[in-house]
Amino acid sequence: MEFRKLTELDITNKKVLIRLDLNVPLKKGKITDDTRITSAIPTLRYILERTHKVAIMSHLGRPDGEVMPEYSLEPVGARLAELLGVEVVFVKDYAEEPAEHVLNQLDRNQIILFENLRFHAGETKNDVNFARHLAQGFEFYVNDAFGTLHRAHASVVAAAELFAPEKRAAGLLVEQEISVLSTLQKKPQAPFTVIMGGSKVSDKIGVVLNLLNHANYLLIGGAMAYTFLKYQGVEVGDSRVEADKMDLISQIYRNAEARKVEIILPEDHVCAASFAANATPIESQGKAIAPGLMGLDIGNRTIKRFTDIIALSKTVLWNGPMGVFEFDNFARGSLRIAEAMAKSPAFTVIGGGDSVAAANKAGIASKIDHISTGGGASLEFLEGKILPGVRVLLK
């Protein structure tokens, strides 16, 4: 898959439109985690070393086509100004009047930031007229919004298509993400261990089936594990089970057997009588969970088994928490997996918002080789799909 890269464009003194994913978490107008902004800085610096005529666009949250002040990108603009040492000119009315005139009047130390794209219904509808307003007056298009490449939205697809193919490219973050994820898909060093968790088998089936082509071990935790255990005839009490997904599990086992992938399920659990942060944790004695209890985390024996496998692996990919890590009483499994990955000499990759949050909670994120900035996008990529935002950048 050959896509055009920013480093292949000659953007010297040119007018560049940049799509970023600056969708940061905000609390009372304050940014609580600026990872997505700092991840975009290398691309921005690269561009600003060559031209100052740039505009940045991004979405934030899901305002669904309405102007909602709590989703304004203004705090993001302030942080960008700090990090880049430039003045950020905030443009709100680009949907009525293209920002071309503002662009032509920019001083050397000024850049444009468009207000939240999703304040306009045209964005998620991939509306060409809306895209024209975004793109008018620009000569090059750069997409570094890895987390939104799986969305066929106006700023990702329709706007890109308004530029000649040789004038659109992927930024440095997208290049790096795709390079790592492609390695996992094509030539990971063995043993390759895939750890899957989170809530639903149905969300991850495509990824699991695709990764079975290359993995040696598939470790299953989180609520997903109870559907697997149920399929095996194990009593799982009141744990969350997707009873209508047994055919998917059977397909996974068939493929795993054909490709000699070992699937490893939890051997014990941390259970509770209710789904609540203050529920009393009860350790199960084995695989089975008694009626009236639900499994909310993997138990100690499972942690040991999983961490032993991580230690002998050369490549490890983790997506989805091992339990309800948002509740401290049921976070241990996810934290131990994060720590085991940090200690492992293997090439380690974490994708998916919740497992990344677990890695941050464990304080080990800096020891992971690659943390994907896009949960949904990385999963769809690993399923083997060509993401709409990548398709428009192909050579």
Residues tagged active-site: 36, 200, 353, 376
Among 98, 122, 188, 295, binds ligand AMP (CB under 6 A): 295
Among 98, 188, 198, 351, binds ligand AMP (CB under 6 A): 198
The tokens for 240 are 């969350």
**What is the smallest separation between the CB atom of 220 and ligand AMP, expressed in angstroms?**
11
Three-point CA angle 161, 165, 170, nearest 5° = 85
Task: Show the binding pattern over residues 150-169: x = contacts ligand AMP (CB under 6 A), - = does not.
Answer: --------------------
> With respect to ligand AMP, which residue has the nearer C-beta, 169 or 349?
349
**What is the smallest separation between the CB atom of 357 and ligand AMP, expressed in angstroms?**
9
Helix (H) or strand (E) holding 297: strand 294-298
Closest Cα to residue 40, out of 15, 57, 63?
A: 57
Three-point CA angle 158, 159, 161, nearest 5° = 65
From 31-39, 165-173, 176-184, 193-201, span contacting ligand AMP (CB under 6 A): 193-201
From 208-216, 283-291, 319-327, 357-365, span contacting ligand AMP (CB under 6 A): 319-327
**By CB under 6 A, what part of segment 204-263 binds ligand AMP?**
222-223, 240
The site that binds ligand AMP (CB under 6 A) totals a number of residues, namely: 16
**What is the smallest separation between the CB atom of 226 and ligand AMP, expressed in angstroms?**
7
Q: By CB under 6 A, is residue 203 in contact with ligand AMP? A: yes
Q: By CB under 6 A, is residue 147 in contact with ligand AMP? A: no
Helix runs in the chain, H state only: 35-48, 74-84, 100-104, 121-124, 128-135, 159-161, 172-186, 201-211, 224-231, 246-258, 300-312, 332-343, 353-362, 375-382, 388-391
Q: By CB under 6 A, is residue 299 in contact with ligand AMP? A: no
**What is the smallest separation between the CB atom of 206 and ligand AMP, expressed in angstroms?**
13
CB distance 237 to 292 below 8 Å: yes
Burial code (b: 16+ CB inside 10 Å, e: under 16) for 287-312 equals: bebeeebbbbbbbebbbebbbebbee
> With respect to ligand AMP, which residue has the nearer C-beta, 241 or 263?
241
**What is the smallest separation between the CB atom of 314 and ligand AMP, expressed in angstroms?**
25
Among 199, 255, 307, 329, binds ligand AMP (CB under 6 A): 199
When CB distances to ligand AMP are compared, the closest residue is: 198
Q: By CB under 6 A, is residue 324 in contact with ligand AMP? A: yes
**What is the smallest separation between the CB atom of 180 and ligand AMP, expressed in angstroms?**
19
**What is the smallest separation between the CB atom of 297 and ligand AMP, expressed in angstroms?**
7
CB distance 173 to 180 below 8 Å: no
Q: Is 195 exposed, middle or buried (0-12, 13-18, 19+ CB in 10 A)?
A: buried
**What is the smallest separation between the CB atom of 201 and ligand AMP, expressed in angstroms?**
9
DSSP code string of 190-240: SSEEEEE-SS-HHHHHHHHHHHTTT-SEEEE-TTHHHHHHHHTT--BTT--
> With respect to ligand AMP, which residue has the nearer C-beta, 47 or 296?
296
Cis peptide before 191 (omega within 30 of 0): yes
Among 237, 352, 374, 389, binds ligand AMP (CB under 6 A): 352
Among 92, 200, 305, 343, binds ligand AMP (CB under 6 A): 200
Q: What residues contact residue 286 under an 8 Å CB cut-off, 6+ apart?
A: 267, 268
Residue 351's SS3 state is strand
**By CB under 6 A, what part of segment 62-101 binds ligand AMP?**
none
Q: How many C-beta atoms lie closer than 10 Å to residue 170's C-beta?
A: 27
Among 188, 320, 351, 389, binds ligand AMP (CB under 6 A): 320
Distance between CA 36 and CA 56 in Å, rounded?
A: 14
Among 354, 358, 368, 377, binds ligand AMP (CB under 6 A): 354
Closest Cα to residue 21, out of 119, 150, 198?
A: 150
Distance between CA 343 and CA 166 in Å, rounded?
A: 43
Q: By CB under 6 A, is residue 321 in contact with ligand AMP? A: yes
**Binding stretches for ligand AMP (CB under 6 A):** 198-200, 203, 222-223, 240, 295-296, 320-321, 323-324, 326, 352, 354
